[in-house]
Structures are given as structure tokens and as C-alpha cells.
Amino acid sequence: MLQTLGLEYHYQQGKKIVFPEIEVERGQRLLISGFSGCGKTTLLSLIAGALQLQVGEIKFDNNDYSSMSSLLLDRHRADHIGYIFQTLNLVPFLSVSENIGLGIRFSQSRKSRVPNLNQEIKRLVDSLGLDKEVLNTPVNRLSVGQQQRVAAARALLGKPDLILADEPTSALDSETTKKFLNEVMEAFDSSKQAIIMVSHDVSIAPYFDSVIDLNKNHA
């Protein structure tokens, strides 16, 4: 589904990163590990189409990123990618269901896969181990763990092909991390979707099919 080829990124300060080749198929769970500053977020941004390609290629099914305008990349991201941030995943003035609904707001194809939005939100919230009352709780009163699960629900809504998660567990304690990963892996549809998570925490490797260590590649 996703394939990178000879990906390099040159920072303005002169730093250069050469990324390993990445290939992900549907159903695959990939962990990219490495210390901070090794270019994990940059790699995710490139795959998300949020950062312009400099050297190398990214192919997503039949789409070649280098031939796509930034507008097309935005649409591609809306249709095919769900994104979870490290922290601050939620829009503070929107309700929990509105925040989850943002996942399909900008994509017709993902919208068409969700015939009953409220029902699907309830299902996701439930499968991610959140209480139904969370839907009526103001976003700023949720715990960090709850917030990350709401963000996961958003990324999963409408079944995008690829879920990108940037250190989603870094703010969680080890117990919550375990629960979070269990539930996310449970809710994710391995027949249609793939997941790429970056983390400096190698202890979560057992949840994944394969691990790429950026630091090794660097050295």
C-alpha cells in the first residue's frame, strides 16, 4: 500500500537525514523507534503529505506524492490518513463527538463510509474503552488518556487506509499505555487498515508486526 524510496530530508540548518526504505501493507502494524531529533515526526509529515518531498519518492497505492499538488495531498490526507498527535489532539471549544466527527469532515469518501455518525461514534468510543458520559464532558475536563482515546476514535472514524500516530503514548503512564495500545489495536480493522506509529519507547514493540529503528539506520 505504502512504499518509500530513497527518502532524504535536508533541514534549513544544514542537517540531513536519510530515511530507510519503508513498505507497509494493509493489516500491517509498523513501529518506528528512535531518539528525539532523529526525524520521526519529519518522516510522518512526509508520509502524511504535510511536508514537501525533497529527495526520494512516496507511493501510496496508485498515487505518487511527487506528482501531486499540495491541494491534492490535503485531499489525499483527508481521504486516506488518520492522524494522532503526541498531545493537544482536541479542539477545545468543540464537544467530544464534534472532535471525533472532524475525522470525516473534510472527506466525502470517509463520510460515505459512515452512514450513521452518532452510532459509529458511540461504537468507537465504546470499543476504545471510554464511558458514554465522555461524549457529554467538556474536552478540557478529560484526562490525557481519555483525550488520546478520543483522538484515536477520530483517526479511526470512516476507516482511513493508514493511521499515523506520533508518540501517542508519551504522555501516558505505562499502565495506561498498555490499555491504550490494546484498545487501539482492537478497534483497528486489520483487513483494511495499516498503522504506523513512531515512539522512542521500544517496550511497546510487542504490539507491532515490525519495527524500524531510525537510530540504527542513522549510524
| Cell (9 digits) for 73 | 495531498
Number of residues that bind other proteins (CB under 8 A): 32
Cα–Cα distance for residue pair 62/114, rounded to 1 Å: 24
Cα–Cα distance for residue pair 121/98, rounded to 1 Å: 10
Cα–Cα distance for residue pair 192/194, rounded to 1 Å: 7
The only residue of 71, 133, 191, 206 in contact with other proteins, by rule CB under 8 A: 71
The only residue of 1, 3, 63, 75 in contact with other proteins, by rule CB under 8 A: 75
Q: Does 77 contact other proteins by CB under 8 A?
A: yes
What letter represents residue 122's amino acid?
Answer: K
The only residue of 65, 83, 180, 188 in contact with other proteins, by rule CB under 8 A: 83
Identify which range of 102-110, 141-149, 171-179, 183-191 contacts other proteins by CB under 8 A.
102-110
How many CB atoms sit inside 10 A of residue 47's CB?
23
Cα–Cα distance for residue pair 4/6, rounded to 1 Å: 7
Nearer Cβ to other proteins (18/91) = 91
Short-list 123, 134, 99, CA closest to 187: 123
Q: Does 177 contact other proteins by CB under 8 A?
A: no
- Within residues 113-172, the interface with other proteins by CB under 8 A covers 154, 166
Q: What does the binding site for other proteins look like in residue numbers (CB under 8 A)?
A: 41-42, 44-45, 48, 50-51, 70-71, 74-75, 77-79, 81, 83, 85, 88-94, 98, 102-103, 105-107, 154, 166
